Amino acid sequence: MPTSYEQFLKNKYREKHPAPGIPVVLSVRSRDRRDFIEKG
């Protein structure tokens, strides 16, 4: 994930949930291949 998008998400979270002094940490994982297979 681009750093700029990660910062954008953190800033949006802080706008909705202000908590001064508490860091926002994102945990990002890749999608599973099965997420891309269309189920019939």
Residue 7 confidence (pLDDT)? 95
Residue 13 confidence (pLDDT)? 95
Residue 21's domain comprises 3-36
Task: Pull the structure tokens for residue 19.
Answer: 């908590």
pTM of the model: 0.64
Residue 40 confidence (pLDDT)? 52
Count how many domains the chain has. Answer: 1
Residue 24 confidence (pLDDT)? 93
pLDDT digits (tens, 9 = 90+) for 1-40: 899 999 999 999 999 999 999 999 999 888 776 766 665 5
Q: Which residues are CB-contacts of 28 (< 8 A; sequence separation ≥ 6)?
A: 1, 6
Residue 1 confidence (pLDDT)? 82
